[in-house]
Amino acid sequence: MEGGTRRKISQEIDSDSNDSVSLPQDILIDILSRLSVKLLLQCKCVSKYWLKLITSHDFIKLQVDHANKNNPRFIFTATNSRHPSTMTLFTLDYEAVQHNAFVSIIDYNCMLSGSFKIVGSCNGLVCLSDYQTCIALCNPATREIVLEPFSIFGKLPDQFVLGFGYDFVKDVYKVVRFDICWRRSDEKDDCQLFVYTVGTKSWRKIPTPGRFHFSHNVPYMNGALHWFKLSTKCNPHLQPNFRSIISFDVGSEKSQKIPTVSFSYKDVFGFCLGVLQGCLSLCIVPNDKKQIDIWLMKEYGVKESWTKLFSFNYSPMYARSAPLVVRKNGEVLIAPDRRSGAINTDRASSLHMYSYDPTSKTLYLCLYTIRMWNSVSTYAESLVSIASFSGR
């Protein structure tokens, strides 16, 4: 597939190129697609040929594919130390994380006024929001930022959740808003679902598949966003119906139920949906608080494919933490879920994460950085331009 993409790129730019290139085009394209975004931005200045190649749509898609597979990173929001009323973004290679060692970071110096949290990250684009005034769509690597005030979309509800995903058929990005209005009756308008296609300046109301559980963690995978469905007449802040996960396809904008784990938990204290090893994951803390279980859906949509990845002993310090990635050495990096207020409630930010080693069955503090951070997501740098589809 990549070979075909390289030939397509070559055909698009070859006829217009007068530059002499010492390397065969396929080899040059393959080499450039593996470079960092910082180097690619510099390479654009080498010649008109390289500029046209690096900015071509198919080359950018090839670069994104390489970055997603081979350049795993975390991206963080952090309060700017010089300007406490602003936020900035920084990133690091999570494979470089060592126990009790500081990790070097790349500071993007993307300043945002206010307190922003990461909604989601996809193909190098990061969606953020302060959940009060606006959405921010950002490509940190190219320092491109677009702000969309909530005021242009009408009045916000008291409670809502945001999700961010990519429609790979139409090649557009969408923000999904779950409006929650809890009533004691089973009224149909308790929860409403709206979709904002980046660049359109409007929210579109979509048929609601049910009542949603109030959670800031809305994982995106397999082209869809996921959340728990509430039981009828249930307070959205209380426990969800674990036997019903809703999948919202970002492209078709249709919902379906995803079978969940067959388990014997009578009650649940903590829970979290996520993505691990390219699979939908479920973190469960039983009400007896004896252990924390991590499950993976190895084959998407197949109930029988749910597999318990591991369990570890419960502690209040990571009761509702969110597993983020499984590293090449098998260790799992776990981040506190600060937006739920479940961990470190006396601190708004931190310097660390947790790491679980399934071989020794130990869990320890790790990921010491030189910056205090308050939200995190997996991330890959890319050349994707927000202006190309935002109407800017």
Is residue 40 in some structural domain? yes
Judged against a pLDDT cut of 70, whether residue 4 lies above it is answered with: no
> What is the Cα Rg of the chain in Å?
22
Residues 331 and 355: their CA atoms lie apart, in Å, by: 6
More confident residue, 179 or 320: 179
Reported as a pLDDT band with limits 50, 70 and 90, residue 100 is low
- Say how many domains are in the chain: 1
**pLDDT tens-digit map of 196-233:** 999 888 888 888 777 777 677 899 999 999 988 766 55
Question: What does the mean pLDDT of the chain come to?
Answer: 80
Q: Residue 226 pairs with which residues in a beta bridge?
A: 247
Backbone phi, psi, residue 253, to 5°: 60, 35
Q: Residue 356 pairs with which residues in a beta bridge?
A: 332, 363
Is residue 7 in some structural domain? yes
**pLDDT tens-digit map of 128-156:** 998 888 899 999 999 999 988 887 666 77
Residue 299 DSSP one-character state? S
Q: Residue 106 pairs with which residues in a beta bridge?
A: 91
Is residue 156 in some structural domain? no
- Residue 193 carries which side chain, given as an amino acid letter? L
Residues 55 and 16: their CA atoms lie apart, in Å, by: 14
More confident residue, 375 or 15: 375
Own/partner contacts of 206-215, CB < 8 Å, gap of 24 or more, are: 206/253, 207/255, 209/246, 209/248, 209/255, 210/244, 210/246, 211/236, 212/161, 212/178, 212/180, 212/236, 212/246, 213/240, 214/159, 214/161, 214/180, 215/161, 215/240, 215/272, 215/273, 215/340
Judged against a pLDDT cut of 60, whether residue 241 lies above it is answered with: no
Is residue 27 in some structural domain? yes
Closest CA to 384 of 58, 53, 3, 12: 58
Q: How far is CA 24 from CA 3, 20, 27, 29, 58, in A?
A: 13, 10, 5, 9, 18
| Chain-centroid distance, C-alpha 256 | 21
Per the structure, the complete domain to which residue 49 belongs is given by: 2-68
Residue 348 contacts residue 374 (beta carbons within 8 Å): yes
pLDDT, residue 251, reads 95
Residues 146 and 14: their CA atoms lie apart, in Å, by: 33
Is residue 163 in some structural domain? no
More confident residue, 114 or 54: 54
pLDDT, residue 6, reads 58
Residues 13 and 113: their CA atoms lie apart, in Å, by: 41
Is residue 174 in some structural domain? no
Judged against a pLDDT cut of 80, whether residue 286 lies above it is answered with: no
- CB-based burial, 265-286: b 16+ in 10 Å, e otherwise: eeeebbbbbbbbeebbbbbbbb
Is residue 241 in some structural domain? no
Please identify which residue in the block is written with the tokens 């990250």.
Answer: 121
Residue 325 contacts residue 294 (beta carbons within 8 Å): no
- CB-based burial, 80-107: b 16+ in 10 Å, e otherwise: beeeeeebbbbbbebeebeeeeebebbe
Is residue 23 in some structural domain? yes
pLDDT, residue 337, reads 55
Question: What does the block give as tokens for 118?
Answer: 């990461």
For range 283-296, the mean pLDDT: 79
Of 105-119, 281-295, 314-328, 375-389, the least confident: 314-328
Q: Residue 341 pairs with which residues in a beta bridge?
A: none
- CB-based burial, 215-231: b 16+ in 10 Å, e otherwise: bbbbbbbbbbbbbbbbb
Residue 168 contacts residue 182 (beta carbons within 8 Å): no
